[in-house]
Amino acid sequence: MLTTKQNVLRRFWYAVMALEDLKDGPKPFRLLGEDIVLFLAKDGKPAALKDRCCHRTSKLSKGWINDGQIVCGYHGWTYDRTGKLVHVPQFPVQQEVPNLSTPAYHCEARYGYAWVALDEPLAPILDAEEEHDPSYRRIPQFYEVWNTSAFRLMENSFDNAHFSFVHRGTFGDTAQPTPKRYEIKETDYGFYAASLVDIVNPPAAQRVTGTTDPATTRDMRNQWYFPFSRRLDITYPSGLQHIIINCATPIDDSHIQLMQLLYRNDTESDCPAQALIDWDAAVIEEDRAMLEATDPDAPLDTTKHAEAQMPSDRPGQIMRRRLLEFLHAHGEAEVTRQYV
Ligand SMILES: [Fe+2]
């Protein structure tokens, strides 16, 4: 599937940028191949517009913010959060501002990020109740560009067969390549997949897992939120909870902005945030290296046999089927280079 060629994917929320990064002015982002600009509007909430002035097409992200409105750096034309042109500095005060605008997108603040849907959203942003529970802390872990597609990242997140190989340098056990099975329940928003995984527990992992045992288990409850978000609840036998939320935000067909945040029910003195970032960084770096070595155009229709399959691929197969059915239900055929 070529992500940007499937129009209905514009109707979902994607985590686009940290709110913190908008404090010093407007910032550009490319979402599903579309150039957008983000800024903090008058109400302090994020806004997203097409990154193009309706005067001479210049990028609004090259401009600045004046009283919560975005000023084009070329001629000073000014827009509000709805994209409406509100000021043309070249006109005398008594002259009416022409009725022009640049397209605006759905934009909401959640979990420290601005989330954007290019067209009318079909589903809400996934809910994390830990955000409102003082026994949890939220740690922003990653915000980085990967040279892969959103589907590859999502599928990999539910693939228990890659741990022993890709993660042999961190928690994978090469002596146990037989993957644990997921119990999968399909939901309206995607699916819920549970499994208990054996892991090695080297000294570097011990504050993360909350035990000094040389091996331990991860009780994983992993949820796919259609199309490219995921919530992974990991519980260790120590009672520690490690809850990862990530969004594989599609920049274009072969690049994603990977946003990942973490909730933990421990404290900075139990395990410093930086240690938790460093630990998961080593793990996702292993994933990145492998995913960037795959073809980003992942075929959804498995009946065409463009890729081989094995039983442990079931979560990915369900994702492919659900996405394909969804495209068809919205009158779209899969666009891919894979079936020739
Ligand atoms: Fe992985």
Say how many Å lie between the CA of residue 171 and the centre of ligand 1. Answer: 10
Residues 278-316 have pLDDT tens digits of: 988 999 999 999 999 999 999 999 999 999 999 999 999
Q: What is the DSSP string of 67-98?
A: TTEEE-TTT--EE-TT-BEEE-TTS-TTSPPP
pLDDT at 171: 76
Residues 8-34 have pLDDT tens digits of: 999 999 999 999 999 999 999 999 999
Partner residues linked to 257 by β-bridges? 145, 249
Pairing of strands 78-79, 69-71: antiparallel
Helices (H), the chain: 150-157, 163-166, 206-209, 273-291, 314-329
| Mean pLDDT of the region 218-230 | 95
Query: Is this model's pTM higher than 0.85 or not?
Result: yes
CB 139 within 8 A of CB 264: yes
d(C-alpha 284, C-alpha 310), whole Å? 23
pLDDT at 331: 98
Say how many Å lie between the CA of residue 165 and the centre of ligand 1. Answer: 9
Say how many Å lie between the CA of residue 286 and the centre of ligand 1. Answer: 7
Say how many Å lie between the CA of residue 163 and the centre of ligand 1. Answer: 6
How would residue 340 be classed by pLDDT, with cut points 50, 70 and 90?
A: low
Say how many Å lie between the CA of residue 86 and the centre of ligand 1. Answer: 48
pLDDT at 6: 98
Please say if the pLDDT value at position 318 is more than 80: yes
pLDDT at 176: 84
Please say if the pLDDT value at position 39 is more than 80: yes
pLDDT at 181: 82
Say how many Å lie between the CA of residue 167 and the centre of ligand 1. Answer: 6
Say how many Å lie between the CA of residue 174 and the centre of ligand 1. Answer: 14
Count of CB atoms situated within 10 Å of the CB of 311: 9
pLDDT at 173: 79
| Mean pLDDT of the region 255-282 | 95
| Mean pLDDT of the region 52-57 | 97
Say how many Å lie between the CA of residue 154 and the centre of ligand 1. Answer: 10
Say how many Å lie between the CA of residue 224 and the centre of ligand 1. Answer: 15
DSSP state letter for 183: E
Say how many Å lie between the CA of residue 287 and the centre of ligand 1. Answer: 5
Say how many Å lie between the CA of residue 278 and the centre of ligand 1. Answer: 15
Residues 75-129 have pLDDT tens digits of: 999 999 999 999 999 999 999 999 999 999 999 999 999 999 999 999 999 999 9
Say how many Å lie between the CA of residue 42 and the centre of ligand 1. Answer: 41
How would residue 36 be classed by pLDDT, with cut points 50, 70 and 90?
A: very high
pLDDT at 205: 86
Say how many Å lie between the CA of residue 164 and the centre of ligand 1. Answer: 9
Say how many Å lie between the CA of residue 21 and the centre of ligand 1. Answer: 28
Say how many Å lie between the CA of residue 246 and the centre of ligand 1. Answer: 13
Residues 190-215 have pLDDT tens digits of: 999 998 888 889 898 899 999 999 99
pLDDT at 157: 94
Say how many Å lie between the CA of residue 283 and the centre of ligand 1. Answer: 7
* CA nearest neighbour of 22 among 62, 51, 56, 65: 65
Count of CB atoms situated within 10 Å of the CB of 269: 6
Token pair 């589903």 in the structure block, residue: 123
